[in-house]
Structure 1
């Protein structure tokens, strides 16, 4: 068992929380769940599986995650940030355990996990969504989450990263109704983040590379055109069409529902002076 504390943020995740906890319980020393006052059995099930559970009102993921770190008083060498709809496989659990043990004293401070994304019951392997890479495991003293409303990443203050070879699983899809509702919520938070980034004028030294490219390349393109280019890139250049109908629906909704909705909300704010708050958890 590696010297790892796992942090899981939850809100109404009774469908996922047990499988998530069981997938990591064999390799981590502590499992800490911070719940946003679920009205289902998430808290009960998490405690039954041996997790430490705290409850805290949700503002955004970064602040909730920072609350979890402070509340847990993490003293393990490694911290694993994992969502309730993510889980390790037997192979990825063994590999993560080994990498943490091998790099206890090395200059490796972050471990990049690879995920398969499941949409409408089908694993997607094209369109730039496989493997979905996230630097989720890091040395506690080296990592800090970005203070932003959307697409927050763990940033390392020192050390290098290593990528895992085996895949973990991501089951973020429940229903299309939930998908639409969640991405409407995401779009408001990304609008908030957009205006904050414009004001702060962040550069590559203070934000993740993905964030820098989004702010300094993607958002420099004309409104509307950028979501269209996004679709062409995902569906044709990155071969999303090879994932069949599921790949088509996913690419279309990501571009013309989510990304264009973000553009529309940014335009609304610029035209009317409106500002979204981006606070609070997803209403289900």
Structure 2
């Protein structure tokens, strides 16, 4: 029987970390939390559950998660953010893997809760994520803040029953603040990679982001919150390219 590490990165997650930890307790053989020096009760809650708690200054989303992987005691990993937890069905699916681990990594559907509503359409569901994997064959990659696990070439993947339950923004103001924050990080990452921001991208990409998520991915079926999500999807695209253009202007 294999042993599994539950790996979590956190910063000021007192609202959600309890659910995250308790969903892992009967599933994994260790729970490791890498925290970026939270100023709320995150550390106290983690210590109450006797998890392994490491404090590390924030290195960037991708870098922080790779650091956390390196601290895990076991090679088989379940990786979660502090505002995520495992559904009961997904808990059972992962427990079954301990005696029947077949693939190098496993995808799970992520079910997102926005302002108290579970979102079933747009780009928010099924929102497939590779979060159960053999760390020897994987690493966190992508463009900050959009990190993703990428397996080594020729690796094989499966899909687990059950959902990662993601408690996203619980107010519209929080959503607006995070949109500003993440668009700034994305613009800087694009700038570092040498990506450009022509006017046509600033005009067309937000329109396409809204059209795709609201109409093609049926975001309108989630009612008013579906509209808010799709509109903000367009907005973050607009802000990302606008801020990227500003960065280039500042260089001149």
TM-score of the alignment, normalized to the shorter chain, above 0.5: yes
Structure 1 contact 2–97 (Cα < 8 Å) conserved: no
Q: Does 1:94 align with 2:92?
A: yes
Separation of aligned partners in 1, 2:200 and 2:107: 30
Give the whole-Å Cα distance in 1 for the aligned partners of 2:19 and 2:230.
28
Higher mean C-alpha deviation, range 261-270 or range 143-152: 143-152
- Match of residue 246, structure 1, among 210, 217, 225: 225
Residue 146 of structure 2 corresponds to 151
CA RMSD after TM alignment: 2.2
Counterparts in 2 of 1:231 and 1:36: CA distance versus 1, 3 Å:
same
SS of 2:104's equivalent in the other structure is strand
**Deviations 1:55-93, CA, capped at 9 Å, x for gaps:** 1111311221222233x2x34231111011111111110
Q: Which secondary structure state, in structure 2, belongs to the residue aligned with residue 152 of structure 1? A: strand
Map of 1:202 onto structure 2: none
Q: Give the corresponding residue for 1:41.
A: 41
Change (3 A) 1:2 1:119: farther
Gaps of 5+ in 2: none
Matched, 1:137 2:135: no
Deviation at 1:178, TM superposition (A): 1.8
Matches within 5 A, 1:1-284: 3-70=3-70, 72=71, 74-103=72-101, 106=102, 108-146=103-141, 148-157=143-152, 158-198=154-194, 222-256=201-235, 258-273=236-251
2:57 partner SS: coil
Shift of residue 22, structure 1, vs aligned partner: 0.3
What's the CA shift for 1:145?
A: 1.3
Is contact 1:17–1:45 with CA below 8 Å preserved after alignment?
yes
CA contact (8 A) 2:8 2:79 kept: yes
Give the match's secondary structure for 2:39. coil
Q: Distance between the aligned counterparts of 2:228 and 2:175, measured in 1?
A: 12
Give, in whole Å, the separation in 2 of the partners of 1:147 and 1:242.
30
Aligned partners of 2:18 and 2:45 also within 8 Å = yes
**Cα distance in structure 1, aligned partners of 2:86 and 2:142:** 27
The alignment of Structure 1 onto Structure 2 pairs a total of residues equal to 251
Contact 1:118 1:124 in 2 (8 A): yes
State the TM-score, normalizing by the size of structure 1. 0.82
Aligned-partner Cα distance in 1 for 2:210–2:106: 30
Q: 1:75-119: CA deviations, max 9, x gaps?
A: 42311110111111111100122135312xx4x101111111111
Rounded to whole Å, the distance in 1 between the matches of 2:232 and 2:201 is 19
Given that residues 107 and 158 in structure 2 are in contact (C-alpha distance below 8 angstroms), is that contact kept between their aligned partners in structure 1? yes
More strand by share: 2
Q: TM-score, normalised by structure 2?
A: 0.92
